[in-house]
Amino acid sequence: LYFIATIYHHYRKLVGAQHGGVVAFSFCTLVCCAKEAANMSRNPGKNKLNLKLPPGSIEPLDHSGCDPTNDKSTQNTSIEDLQKTLEGLDLDEQQRKRLEAFLSQKQKVGELTSDDFENLGELGAGNGGVVTKVLHRPSGFIMARKLIHLEVKPAIRNQIIRELKVLHECNSPHIVGFYGAFYSDGEINVCMEYMDGGSLDLVLKRAGRIPEKILGKVTIAVLKGLNYLREKHQIMHRDVKPSNMLVNSRGEIKICDFGVSGQLIDSMANSFVGTRSYMSPERLQGTHYTVQSDIWSLGLSLVEMALGRYPIPPPDDRELTAIFGRNYTPESNSGMASGDGPRPMSIFELLDYIVNEAPPSVPAGVFSPEFKDLVDRCLKRNPNERGDLKTLMNHPYVRTSEQEKVDFAGWVCQTMGLDPSTPTKLTPEGQA
């Protein structure tokens, strides 16, 4: 796509397109370019978008004697194993008890099959799949089930199921819980913990904007989640955005949809169009990228949630005044636009803007200097200049947010119209 965006950028210059104008590309030409870009490299460790997978992100597992199309590994974990799993994690007592409860409940689920689920409604769609709220009848648990339709060979789908089993080892208060995955009727089924508050993109639509103190708690959770994936599993997320940050009525914030399956990433390459607007410049250019790319995506997400809209192109003074009212005083704001307000951008203009223009920011004077500094450190075009996970976790904004008393659960419940601590089990026994 960046290859196409570059052509678009130079073509506009060539024809002298006016501000806001649209250059009509030949559809056939774009399709040919997209196919060429997607097929440029078939080297191991790369997917169809020529994105390099980090070494160690997928560890080979021994699945001899197992049916690869069904995940039965939830059944054979002892209490001692559960306790050992939680050793070494920086958990408070409440987090430890909740994780132990989830892992103990997970043992009761057993083998997952499509016949055991009752559909309770759609939660969302994106990234090549539809997410539904379901009841697992044998256990009484409410889960979120993601259905990913893939037309792939049996060997590839079996590999995807095997790779997804790595999710069983990802146990953190900041990572959405995983029940298992299986293949049925042409679809990969990924069964996850149900988060009743939904994703932050939906919360943002309800709230209009998300207050800075609330974003402080979000920042802490996402940074800790990313750090856990990196330190414990050598995994990058690769798709950090508000729709992959989930919240619930207990006040928990967890990330989901991180890239443990290289084969799934490869198989879904053509479905990533909707998420590329959160990709870092180096990813869009197809160059080597690291966890610093996730830092960019976090920064962009924070700016979006703070402003109440996707920040590219950045809002000008008129729009900022409309957003913040008397709280906003026009002044010199880097990363802010000047002009007559936002204009629609094609995907090609957007990608070109991300790579070549100044990164977005939040307006000075409206947000604390610490918050503005944190997002600015995340949104450096050069990944070597961005704050790393360790630096950001010790940033003054994060440290202050850790000390602040914020009723995050109450805010989520009020915003989303929830009762406190909505149960995740329909029967009285074992309610959350």
DSSP string spanning 8-53? HHHHHHHHTPPTT------HHHHHHHHHHHHTS---TTB-TT-PBP
> Are 3 and 38 in contact, with CB atoms under 8 Å apart?
no
> Are 398 and 216 in contact, with CB atoms under 8 Å apart?
yes
Helix (H/G/I), strand (E/B), else coil: 344: coil
- What are the residues whose beta carbons fall under 8 Å from the beta carbon of 24, sequence distance 6 or more? none
For the record, the structure tokens of 18 come out as 């006016």
| CA 164 – CA 175 distance, rounded (Å) | 14
239 part of the active site: yes
- How buried is 205 (Cβ within 10 angstroms: 0-12 exposed, 13-18 middle, 19+ buried)? exposed
| Active-site position among 201, 239, 257, 376 | 239
Query: Among residues 389, 234, 432, 197, which one has the least CA distance to residue 296?
Result: 389
Q: Is 146 annotated as a binding residue?
A: yes
Tell me the sheet residues that pair with 149: 187
What 8-state DSSP symbol labels residue 25? -
> Are 9 and 345 in contact, with CB atoms under 8 Å apart?
no
Q: In what order do the strands lie in the sheet with 141-149?
A: 117-126, 129-136, 141-149, 187-193, 178-184
Query: Residue 310: what residue type?
Result: Y
Helix (H/G/I), strand (E/B), else coil: 133: strand
120 sits in the region (left: phi over 0; alpha: psi -120 to 50; else beta) called alpha
Binding-site residues for ATP, please?
A: 146
Which residues are identified as catalytic?
239
